[in-house]
Amino acid sequence: MSMGLKATRNHPGSADKEHLRRNNGPAAAGKRLKLRFGLSALSLLAALLLVVSAGCGSRPDLIIGAQTFTETKILAEMYKTLIEQKTDLEVKVIPDLAASPLVFSALDRGDIHLATLYSGEIFNNHFPIEQTKERAAVLRQAQEGFEQYYGFDWMDPLGFENTYAFTVREQLAQEKGYKTISDIKPDAASMRFGVDTSWLERINDGYPAFQKEYGITFAKAYPMEPSLVYSAVQNDQVDIVLAYSTDARLKAFKLKTLEDDRQFFPPYDASPVMRKEMQERFPGVKEAIQPLIGTIDIETMVNLNYQVDIEKKSEREVALHYLKERGLIR
């Protein structure tokens, strides 16, 4: 094999490296998140806010925060454009605020007022929850819990979720008729699996739990950085990988995601989230972004990400084009 990657048999481990906003379930994981995105990250946010104030001459009426990954920055530009068109508010976007835990903390502190978060955030030990992977139940708990404990208005979903997705080459899926994860079970014992190292080692929601749920064990597992899985499967260095469901490389590399037919992964539906005090102060904001709710499906989000990540357009350019195409702005 030309990858230079070490094959590993599957030994349950204790590593639990957070990647963006993945399910960390137990209380200890929530504590790790708070430590990891602690003083240094908040110091960075404070510095960014100083830059915003200096650049504007005064603090904007509304500040939108976005994580480092593309879709949240595109969505932030959509929110900004719609709000400024339909209200008299001055809006500023602060991008690249690390991962969702920092964005959450910034919302909680009032440093930002609006952001995109994902329903699976409930599993990060913010408040007591009912353990479930049922999509509507997870959303309901996000909406009710974050309002009760944090004073957030967790709006209805935009229409897509960004979660883990088992992924193969489109050609292989067509040849074998793969549509769901269960479809690969007869062939799994001969398949090479490329995967984020942290997921491979997690016990409760990683490979060991997946093996138990689906009864699937791959021939060999190749741990690698998440960014490498797409090219690895495209180049036939592995047969199947664990990817992210809205990544632009799914389209660029002609990859096929498989339906999680046993609902192993928790849902991560994307929603705009706003501090209720700001909504009460500026009631036109929620109305301004309402046309986006329920209208952006996963294929659309992949295509928007593709325009930025592969075609190298700016997030603002892509956001404006989409809004004009949908007739939402002039």
Q: Which of 298, 247, 274, 229 has the alpha carbon at shortest distance from 91?
A: 274
Q: Which of 242, 199, 237 has the alpha carbon at shortest distance from 4?
A: 237
- pLDDT at site 202: 83
Q: Which of 256, 257, 268, 248 has the alpha carbon at shortest distance from 309?
A: 248
The whole-angstrom separation of Cα 31 and Cα 33 is 5
Helix (H, G, I), strand (E, B) or coil at 235: coil
Asked if residue 250 lies in contact with residue 202, where contact means CB atoms within 8 angstroms, the answer is: no
φ, ψ of residue 239 to 5 degrees: the values are -100, -25
Helix (H, G, I), strand (E, B) or coil at 282: coil
Model-level pTM? 0.84
The whole-angstrom separation of Cα 298 and Cα 150 is 29
For 117-135, how does the pLDDT look when each residue is reduced to its tens digit (9 = 90+)? 999 999 999 999 999 999 9
Domains along the chain?
37-161+267-325 (3.40.190.10), 164-257 (3.40.190.120)
- pLDDT at site 201: 83
The whole-angstrom separation of Cα 215 and Cα 174 is 23
From the first residue on, what is the mean pLDDT of each consecutive set of 10 residues in the chain (330 residues)?
Answer: 36 31 37 42 52 59 95 98 97 91 92 96 94 96 98 98 97 98 98 93 88 98 94 97 97 97 96 94 95 98 98 98 96
The whole-angstrom separation of Cα 118 and Cα 218 is 30
